[in-house]
Structure 1
Amino acid sequence: MAWSTLPAMIFTLSAVTSKVTFNSDVDALYALRQSLNDPDNALQSWDPSNVDPCTWFYVTCDQDNRVTHMDLGYHKLSGSLVPELGNVDSLQYLALYGNNIQGSIPQEIGNLKNLISLDLYNNSITGNIPSTLGNLKSLEILRVNDNRLTGTIPMELAGISSLAAFDVSNNDLCGPIPSTGPFEHIPPSSFESNPRLGGPC
């Protein structure tokens, strides 16, 4: 093999790898669109035949054309979240508050190691808070208040030193309230209106 052809081969391989990663964002976001009811057509631009998600509404990308922000607050969306969201691995901000989303929080969201803010409040989400969210070591904001969540607050969340804003009020959680790490500074109002919280499950 001629050395002169090596840079071209490396460039081609890099482009292919980038395209595969790029398409994983497209696939994940389109899976979410397929799982949601969208009466106002907020997600109309989320078209998988357009392989550049950076042109889709309510999506922001970085300089590498990877999805970093999704802001879908107050769009009358219903349906459920999808495990494919865990594949959008450059995602920093995920906002789906103020809709009518049902079902559970996918444990795969714990794969989003760059996530800074997760806002799922004011929906109809059920099930447990996944313990995998404790893997989100960059997380600063976690708000899942005003849903129908049950079970305990995962103790793994106490290991997120960056967590500054946390709210699980107005759910049906039970069991102990974490008191170490970032929870030393979380106000009591963030836990209110969970009648069984602090007691047995």
Structure 2
Amino acid sequence: MNPLPLIFLFLLSSSLHFSPVISTNSEGNALHALRSRLSDPRNVLQSWDPTLVNACTWFHVTCDSNNHVIRLDLGNSNISGTLGPELGQLQHLQYLELYRNDIGGKIPEELGNLKSLVSMDLYGNRFEGEIPKSFAKLKSLKFLRLNNNKLSGSIPRELTNLPNLKVFDVSNNDLCGTIPVDGPFGSFPMESYENNRLNGPELKGLVPYDFGC
């Protein structure tokens, strides 16, 4: 009997069996890379074990019925460190909750790859540098709270093209320039911008000039 057909069937069944695990592990790997960048004195990330089949059994991680990570809840967890580009691999993530920690460094441009993101709460940390222009790709984004950090530069005009943005808060940073009024920015209260070096709303139809940036 020719053993080749049996070998072929075995390989085929093996690939079908393991393919979901491989796809899920890419998200687990991204989260484990995040863990390696963070200091965690309360051990809130103790369950983040990379040897498990997927990340859906980890605390503070929520998955959908297809075992894709859709929510990351690490708000007020007393963690510190930085974020890396690996977070951009969580393609199904809808909620990124990292508020009220001690995370610093720049906000990764790769967060703009999270096309399913509905809410991003990074407020109350030590993020510095500019707001990534890549956030303009987050067309599903409704809530963007970056207040109480150390962000600088101007508010990217690209963000005026976000069709679903309902809440935008960048208060208590070191931002400069003028405040956009196009798109959803026409409806945000001035409290969203207070305690920066911003120069008030720009006039519609005029090219913005970022004084002091």
TM-score (norm 2): 0.87
Q: What is the one-letter code of the residue matched to 1:141? A: F
Change (3 A) 1:197 1:168: farther
Who is 1:169 aligned against? 171
What code does the residue aligned with 2:75 have?
G
Question: Using the alignment, how far apart are the partners of 2:117 and 2:14 within structure 1?
Answer: 30
Q: Aligned-residue CA RMSD in angstroms?
A: 1.9
- Name the structure 1 match of 2:212: 200
Matched with 1:158 is 160
User: Which ranges of 4 or more aligned residues in structure 1 deviate by more than 6 Å?
Assistant: none
**Equivalences, count:** 197
- Deviations along 1:115-172, whole A, 9 cap, x unmatched? 0000000001111100000000000000000000001111111111100010000000
Partner of 1:66: 68
Superposition pairs of residues 1-201 of structure 1, within 5 angstroms: 9=12, 15-198=17-200, 199-201=211-213
TM-score scaled by length of structure 1 = 0.92
Q: Residue type matched to 1:118 in 2?
A: M
Gaps of 5+ in 1: none
For 2:85 and 2:172, the matched residues in 1 are separated by 25
1:175 Cα shift?
A: 1.4
Deviation at residue 82 of structure 1 after TM alignment: 1.1
Name the CA distance, whole Å, in 1 between partners of 2:113 and 2:120: 13
Shift of 1:21: 2.0
Contact 1:173–1:197 (Cα < 8 Å) also in 2: no
Pairwise CA distance, 1:18: 2.7
In the superposition, relative to structure 1, how do residues 194 and 46 fare at CA in structure 2: closer, same or farther (>3 Å)? same
- Greater Cα radius of gyration, structure 1 or 2: 2
